[in-house]
Amino acid sequence: MAQVIADRRDIDFVLHEQLEVENLSKHPLFADFDKETVDMIVSTARDLALRYIHPTLKIGDEIGCKYENNKVITPDEFKTAWQAMKEGDWFAIDRPREAGGQGMPCTVAAAARTYMIGANMGLMFPVHLIHGPGMLIELFGTEEQKALYLHNLYTGTWGCTMMLTEPDSGSDLSHLKTTATRNPDGTFNITGNKIFTSCGDQDLTENIIHLVLGRIKGAAPGAGGISLFLVPKFRINPDGSLGERNDVYCTGIENKMGHHSTPSCSMTLGGRGACIGTLLGPENTGLSSMFVMMNKFRHIVGIQGMSVASSAYLYALAHARNRIQGARLGDPEMTPIPIINHPDIRRMLMTMKMITEGTRSMLYYIANVEDKRDTAETPREREIYDNVLNFLIPVAKSYVTDRAVEICNLGMQIFGGYGYIKEYPTEQLVRDVKILTIYEGTNGVQSMDLMGRKLMIKGGRLFRDFLGEVRKSLESFKDVPDIRAFVQAMEAAVDKLEAVGEHLTRTVKGGDLENAYLYACPFMDVVGDIMVAWMLLWRAVVAKRKFATGEPIPDPDFYTGQIHTAETCMRTMLPVTSARMAVILDSCNAPMEITDEAFGGR
């Protein structure tokens, strides 16, 4: 049962053998998180996920959330799971202790989240919604706001939402119409309508704190005039007790393709003229404040994608081992065999393994970079880690979720006709995973951020620091003799990636913005491919060094699996990545030159 969500052996390998996470305990900030404690945290998260969260997966899909009389009603099993998470203090695991969190390293939190998200991504969504807004209150809230909100949020007593999207303001939030009128007591009357608000209403918590983007009357148009407000479902008295109902209501929930455990709500604020909110942070800095949180949340979205892909892989692997169909090619006896022995099934399984394990390492690595930034000993060291982190955040969100969709589709393909019917789990995973490429900033927007902003800011230093970390790592692999050819192939790919980055930078600076942005998504793909290849090669190096010790290895198949997976990546994926980079360097502009009428359809 434990292996329907994630491979514990692989998680332990990444944490302890690849990233050596216990080294963080040498720093006072993480002194309590030695290897024994880390293993206990992951085991507890796995047990919680299997006992309380995973049983809600099918319930959430088939029963889901219901909307009645301006309220969202969740299944009873959700409330049981929520209470279990409250008792275990799982709502702010990597927030600072002084703010009410557990103070856990981000790397360890990523591993714990793998199990809980993989058990039911939709049920875990309101948990993550508490984490992000709570972080903004920590950073930008007044002492009074911190005292009123943080404890109840970080214990799961209250929930949170992010109210961003409006009917006419989606990816471009600069034209939103929600307005705030100043009251004499310093509060604001909020008026507006929001859509696609995840968990805009639910009955898991006694109150919900909405983070609302709006424009104070008289503020400048555009992004520079947007502020951020705290709008509680129930008003909060000065002593922290709940007061009367605030004028913010859910007016309906969307009937979605999947992700049914999370209600996507349309919301109205101030429909009766009495929606009261308080300013969070300085006026007119709402978007910049929100994006501080979005960076963290986008990394979690990447973990969502990897976790669902991990589950899809394990289901497909188990099915392939048990499903008897066909005979081995060339067998004159035509003896029926498990389908895992068929070449095309092995090709798909290897692709699933390669991407799932590569993206797991990538996401845990990004979390580890955040931990290392927070424990850095010099300003330059901290700057390097911060630059790498910021460069890779859109990759964590976009690349990983795009690949997760592919992995879930492959899982369904391995199940064949069974995978297409609701009796089997792959059908739900395919429907659930797709939303990850759309919400929290579509993957196209993430690609524009990576190419148009992260590549360009600080004179390209983020990109150079990222390449520097990859090259430094590859240099350290050269003591392993029989993978030198793969290291050289990676070095050539990194050099070519640098040339691609320089090409896109020149294109932007030359004023041909449309041609540059035409290749933003391909640039995202090649950066992600390089990350996966690097991570898998790193894994193979660890395995090779393990064998080189000459000591007995209790699970040699696991380590040989790392070596074969890396070889598959180096010989089948990396050449395709090189071709993708050649396409970017060629920069065909035909998609921009074609006329609207020439697309046809009229």
d(CA 488, CA 496): 12
**High-pLDDT (> 70) share of the chain, %:** 100
**High-pLDDT (> 90) share of the chain, %:** 90
185-227 per-position pLDDT tens digit: 999 999 999 999 999 999 999 999 999 999 999 999 888 899 9
13-52 per-position pLDDT tens digit: 999 999 999 999 999 999 999 999 999 999 999 999 999 9
88-121 per-position pLDDT tens digit: 999 999 999 999 999 999 999 999 999 999 999 9
> Which residues sit opposite 169 in a β-bridge?
166
Query: Do 159-289 and 466-592 have matching folds?
Result: no
Beta strands 207-216 and 158-163 are: parallel
* Fold type of domain 159-289: Butyryl-CoA Dehydrogenase, subunit A; domain 2 (2.40.110)
pLDDT at residue 170, as a whole number: 66
What is the per-residue DSSP string for 174-215?
GG---EEEE-TTS-EEEEEEEEEEETSS-SSSSEEEEEEEEE
Q: Please compute the mean of the pLDDT values over residues 516-541 and round it to a whole number.
A: 98
490-518 per-position pLDDT tens digit: 999 999 999 999 999 999 999 999 999 99
Active-site residue identified among 440, 514, 567, 597: 440
Burial of 564: CB neighbours in 10 Å, binned 0-12, 13-18, 19+ = middle
Helix, strand, coil percentages (3-state) for the chain, rounded to 5, are 65, 10, 25
pLDDT at residue 1, as a whole number: 40
447-483 per-position pLDDT tens digit: 999 999 999 999 999 999 999 999 999 999 999 988 9
Burial of 88: CB neighbours in 10 Å, binned 0-12, 13-18, 19+ = middle
Within 8 A by CB and 6+ apart from 176, the residues are: 164, 166, 169, 192, 213, 214, 215, 226
Q: Please compute the mean of the pLDDT values over residues 218-238 and round it to a whole number.
A: 93
Task: Give yes or no: 440 in active site.
Answer: yes
Q: Domain ranges in the chain?
A: 2-143, 159-289, 466-592
- Tokens 């501080």, residue? 292
d(CA 326, CA 321): 13
pLDDT at residue 287, as a whole number: 86
Within 8 A by CB and 6+ apart from 480, the residues are: 541, 544, 545, 548
Query: Among candidates 581, 461, 465, 472, which has minimal Cα distance to 534?
Result: 472
Query: Among candidates 109, 227, 106, which has minimal Cα distance to 164?
Result: 227
The amino acid that residue 51 corresponds to is R
What is the four-CA torsion angle of 68, 74, 75, 77, rounded to 10 degrees?
-160
| Model confidence band, residue 2 (pLDDT cutoffs 50, 70, 90) | very low
Q: Please compute the mean of the pLDDT values over residues 410-433 and round it to a whole number.
A: 96
Within 8 A by CB and 6+ apart from 453, the residues are: none
| Model confidence band, residue 296 (pLDDT cutoffs 50, 70, 90) | confident
d(CA 277, CA 256): 30
CATH of span 466-592: 1.20.140
What is the pTM for the complete model shown? 0.95
| Confidence check: pLDDT of 406 > 90 | yes
* Fold type of domain 2-143: Butyryl-Coa Dehydrogenase, subunit A; domain 1 (1.10.540)
